[in-house]
Structure 1
Amino acid sequence: MAISSEQAPSVETEVERLTTGADAAADTVKLDPKRWAALLVLLVSAFMDLLDGTIANVAAPSMQQELAAGYSAIQWVLVGYQLAFALTLILGGRLGDIFGRKRMFLIGVAGFTLTSLTAGLAQEPWQLVISRVLQGAFSGIMVPQVLSIIHVTFSDKERGTAFALHGLVGGLAATLGLALGGLMVEWDLFGLSWRLIFLVNVPIGLVGLLYGSKVITESKAPQALRLDLLGLVLATGGLVMLVYPLLQGRELGWPAWGYASMIASLPVLLGFVAWQRRKSRKDGSPLVELGLFRTRSFSSGLAVNLIFYVGMGMFTIGWTLYMQIGQGWSPMRAGLTSLPFCIGAFLTATTSVMVLVPKFGRKAMQLGAVVLVAGLGSYIWVAGEYGSDVTSWHLVVPLFLIGLGFGTVATPLPLIVTSEVPHKDAGSASGLVNTNTQLGFAIGGALVSVVFFGGLAGNTGAGVDQQIPQLRQDLVATAGVTPGEADTVIAAYRTCSVDRAGEKDLATVPESCTVAPLRDQKVTSVLAGYQEDATGTSFAASFQTLLWVFIGITAVVFLLMFAIPRRLRHEGEGAPEAGQATVS
């Protein structure tokens, strides 16, 4: 039966009930006395996984140099992990429902730990690629269990706190990966260089295995479920056809087959949906319980989550490019520059679920979106005002505001999405939430190619054109060339700069940069400063464009938040099974 808006209490009232434990029925449920110790294990494992996704990007140049690997091989070290992770999340979540969430979590941790060891010991590029792909697959088994165990272990009274801590860990891992990766590579502890970013997971994983086996209580779906193999094949095939071209599009030059693959993924995924409906009628054991999507808190929360992480995926990649390549900052400096973001996210990751959302409801999340836009707008101003002369101090306020907005919007989303999920489908729902997030990041990464790199060559050419009058004078006065020779040098310099901006691997030196006019030592000494300025200015301009797009995406997120229902109902208060309830 649908609930009218007049009968339904406000989201503020309901979320307050969620965090204060007003539900008397929930209070009568015997809670696991080891649940907070179990949460510690879950959060450390989630932090380890999220950290590895970021930290490897920072260490990629060192890997490439030490292993004498090609650019494509290193791309597979990064993309292979993401692809395997995205493809196993739904499977991992359902395996937890069927065989036990604790069991699958420990299997995931064990595999993640072992593949971290093999990655740290790799002597050949192919060994590192295989280790990373397997690491991503085991991570896809481990990570869905985190949200599902939180969902079934904690009462409504405590679940908000647990989700808040989970959101805090996610925000910190995403940003601290830059700083920690830079520190580990630059310090070169024990001569391990990049290998330490993988080997450090081994002792942490072993402790997690031993401690987790003692403090995590096993849980699974109350009725027997069977693994949907055909559904698994259809879901995996459809996601591969969609996600792989997104992840590798720029590297492959956006070939026609990539677009064909993404278009063809639609009928495959529609076939998956049709099979899930048939599977539900047949034996009640689909890979994904489609009835969950009939619940507004689940479907609207997923929609907000997807669009939000499209923007965050764009921002994260573009931000790294802007700092490390555009400004030429070291990984350690780039990481330390991110600390204001971490502080902002820390302040709101816990308060958004425990204080702001209970008091103001979804308006708190919308306020977070407004703060995020303010941070992005201030970043646009700083990037345009200071160009290549920007310092870390100039970015403190923009990054702090972005962190505040991120924590306020992102942290409550898993709680909203899973608020009405029955315990039997907790793993499946968790896998969907994480897959949804990864798909958002993949789409955001693909948009970087269009939004950021698409205008980089043009921005570089425009930047060089602004330098020409002063550059001509300096070449004549300092390098001792004639005005005619200066024009030849400037034309070669402009071509080189634009060609370099168009390279897939920005470390590659185009042939146009090795021509005779650019090999003179006096000429190169004059051009060095101009080239650094042109790179910084062009990357700043491209990053400004990306930030404007992110502002537009955030505006869409703000509007989508109105679809979140006024009342968030939970299984603990007697909500009907997913697929049998509607909320209006």
Structure 2
Amino acid sequence: MTTTGVAPDRAAVAEPAPYRWRWAALFVILAAEVMDLLDAMVTNIAGPSMRADLGGGASVIQWLGAAYTLSMAVGLITGGRLGDIHGRKRMFVIGAIGFTAGSLLCAASRSPEMLITARVIQGLFGSVMLPQGLGMIKEMFPPKEMQAAFGMFGPVMGLSAVGGPILAGWLVDADYFGTGWRMIFLINLPLGLAAVLGALRFLPHGRSDNPPRLDIPGMLLVSLAALLIIFPLVQGREYDWPLWSFAMMGASVLVFAFFGWYEARRSRAGGDPLVVPSLFRKRGFSGGMVVGLVFFSGMTGFTLVFNLYTQLGLGYSTLKAGLAMVPWSAGMIVGFGVAQAVKKFGRRVLHGGALVMALGVFGIWITLQTAGIGVSPWQLTPALLVTGLGMGLLMAPFFDIVLAGVEAHETGSAAGTMTAMQQLGGAFGVALLGTVFLGLLGGGVASAADGAAPALRARLAAVQITGAAQDAVVQGVRDCVHDRAVAKDPTATPAACTRLERTARTAATSPAAAGVVGQALQQSGQDSFEQGFGSAMKAILWVVDGMLLLTFLFAFLLPRQAREDEDAIGH
């Protein structure tokens, strides 16, 4: 109450002081983001080493990534609501403790099943930890500092993207204390402990004034629907695509449809649906879901396949494979920077990014076509740099442009749904492109063996191995490399390779001839393997470029410009 009868000057009204420890709290939140980004990347680099140590089929490598991203996807929206209900600081701490415990379980795993289960635990607790950061940042920072706070994410994520593959490769190759690949998870223990202690000291207590209710049935339905499509995509190839694999994929469509019906019914009844149904009546948001699913599937699937190609096909060490990915990450950082400078062009930046990335992927194809089986990381650098540049241009404006088509009260649900879609797209891409790549390997290696047969026959003829004996050796090489490429157990020697050894010993007419034959078989098998991996990789590059073309076309459904308000900041 005033005594002068004059209304107080609006500028003179003291605003609440901003949270004292906001910048320290921001670094705690960024530490959690870094842990998530690194753990999403490391299995792409270290997957072959993990499989070689623990055993299992090629699908194990796919599950190591898909289990994490799939569990993260289905938990993200509910994770944010848990913070609104029970307090964001409390749920951040619980998530960080669980994520760190999951990392310890990963490092202690003695079987593929245990490691995959631990990855699910990481993903679920990560989905509890990560969504709390956005709400806390908006609470802690005044409007004039908000952009600077969110601007910290770019450099930190960029450095992580560059350093992550190098760190993973270095730790695996260094084999500290005999831990090998386990060190990439053990390193999370001090990081997780620091995040927990920092959260307890610096994060503010906060929760929503009107907390929503949890939609547990909705979460279970979308989890079931996602699993019904990811599981058969990953496992179907190893079981020769039985009827149940197609039945599961068909059931996934039905469950997704039932999920949509349930969410609409819950919304009409006045409940809090997991996803606001009105979002899907907006062309921009629905188009954004399609664009995001196609793009993130292609991007994540390509990353997995490229690492399989460099390590298993080209024989790169884990560190060398990680270094080979640095130009991609560096190009992405540059792309993000360029996108900020030209953001006034809105959707056209996204379109340009898709075209530049497609050009880079085609450049990788040209590099493999011209360099052949001896391709080096330096030869791949220009094309990977262009690919990363396009990816940065595409990703930078994507979320803001999609959110421009939704109402202010729908922004929270829309942002959470789009982030979950990003993770789901990653799981789908790992399953789809990984399965296509592994499915092409057997035929590709066999065809490469056919192509190498004339040179092998010439070397055999030089030591008087001709006729039926020569035919048996050549056919044996083809069968051996094919069966080794498709073997479910990489440590076991295929029966075809055992037969080839016996055939070669019988065909050799002298010890000197046996030495020549052994060298010829080794060289022919290695060349066939590398060429077969190369042909499968080149086929995947065409698939990725097709997905980028679809991304370009579907992007016309999106709004032309991003929304210029704080609701479009930070996703």
- Whether TM-score is above 0.5 comes out as yes
Deviations 1:182-220 (A, max 9, x none): 211211113322221111101111111222344444444
Aligned to 1:402: 387
CA distance in 2, matches of 1:326, 1:73: 17
Is residue 419–residue 568 contact of structure 1 (8 Å, CA) maintained in 2? yes
Within the alignment, does 1:384 sit opposite 2:369 as a pair? yes
Matched AA of 1:233: L
Give 2:71's match in structure 1, choosing from 84, 90, 94.
84
Is residue 460–residue 517 contact of structure 2 (8 Å, CA) maintained in 1? yes
CA distance in 1, matches of 2:291, 2:356: 17
CA distance in 2, matches of 1:573, 1:200: 35
Deviates more, 1:457-466 or 1:517-526: 517-526
Aligned to 2:534: 540
Change (3 A) 1:426 1:250: farther
Within the alignment, does 1:355 sit opposite 2:341 as a pair? yes
Within the alignment, does 1:517 sit opposite 2:511 as a pair? no
CA distance in 2, matches of 1:129, 1:167: 30
Give 1:255's match in structure 2, choosing from 230, 242, 264.
242
CA distance in 1, matches of 2:258, 2:137: 32
CA distance in 2, matches of 1:220, 1:542: 50
Change (3 A) 1:248 1:38: farther
Give 1:223's match in structure 2, choosing from 210, 214, 217.
210
Is residue 373–residue 551 contact of structure 1 (8 Å, CA) maintained in 2? yes
TM-score, normalised on structure 2? 0.85
CA distance in 2, matches of 1:207, 1:224: 29
Deviations 1:531-561 (A, max 9, x none): 2222222222221111112112111211222
Aligned to 2:425: 440
Within the alignment, does 1:551 sit opposite 2:545 as a pair? yes
Give 1:323's match in structure 2, choosing from 306, 310, 316.
310
- The root-mean-square deviation of aligned C-alpha atoms, in Å, is 3.3
CA distance in 1, matches of 2:45, 2:324: 14
TM-score, normalised on structure 1? 0.83
Give 2:351's match in structure 1, choosing from 353, 356, 366.
366
Q: Secondary structure at the match of 1:481?
A: coil
Change (3 A) 1:140 1:309: same
CA distance in 1, matches of 2:372, 2:388: 22
Aligned to 1:49: 36
Change (3 A) 1:249 1:41: farther
- In the alignment, structure 1 segments of 5+ residues that lack a partner are 1-23, 575-584
Q: How does 1:21-60 map to 2 (within 5 A)?
A: 34-60=21-47
Q: How does 1:427-506 map to 2 (within 5 A)?
A: 428-449=413-434, 451-477=436-462, 481-482=465-466, 484-504=468-488
Post-superposition offset of 1:259: 1.9
Deviates more, 1:523-532 or 1:382-391: 523-532
Give 1:202's match in structure 2, choosing from 178, 186, 189.
189
CA distance in 2, matches of 1:160, 1:491: 65
Matched AA of 2:237: R
CA distance in 2, matches of 1:422, 1:547: 38
Q: Secondary structure at the match of 1:403?
A: helix
CA distance in 1, matches of 2:271, 2:427: 32
Deviates more, 1:322-331 or 1:132-141: 132-141
Q: Secondary structure at the match of 1:411?
A: helix
Post-superposition offset of 1:402: 0.7
- Percentage identity across aligned positions? 39
Deviates more, 1:57-66 or 1:554-563: 57-66
Is residue 148–residue 427 contact of structure 1 (8 Å, CA) maintained in 2? no
Aligned to 1:332: 319
Matched AA of 2:74: L
Aligned to 2:7: none
Change (3 A) 1:191 1:523: same
Change (3 A) 1:71 1:395: closer
Is residue 163–residue 415 contact of structure 1 (8 Å, CA) maintained in 2? no
Matched AA of 2:431: A
Q: How does 1:52-131 map to 2 (within 5 A)?
A: 52-64=39-51, 78-122=65-109, 127-131=114-118
CA distance in 2, matches of 1:302, 1:151: 25
Aligned to 1:8: none
CA distance in 2, matches of 1:308, 1:76: 20
Change (3 A) 1:311 1:65: closer
Change (3 A) 1:402 1:572: closer
Matched AA of 1:369: A
Is residue 307–residue 553 contact of structure 1 (8 Å, CA) maintained in 2? yes
Matched AA of 1:527: L
Deviations 1:373-396 (A, max 9, x none): 121111111111111011111101
Aligned to 2:232: 245
Deviates more, 1:76-85 or 1:559-568: 76-85
Q: Secondary structure at the match of 2:237?
A: helix
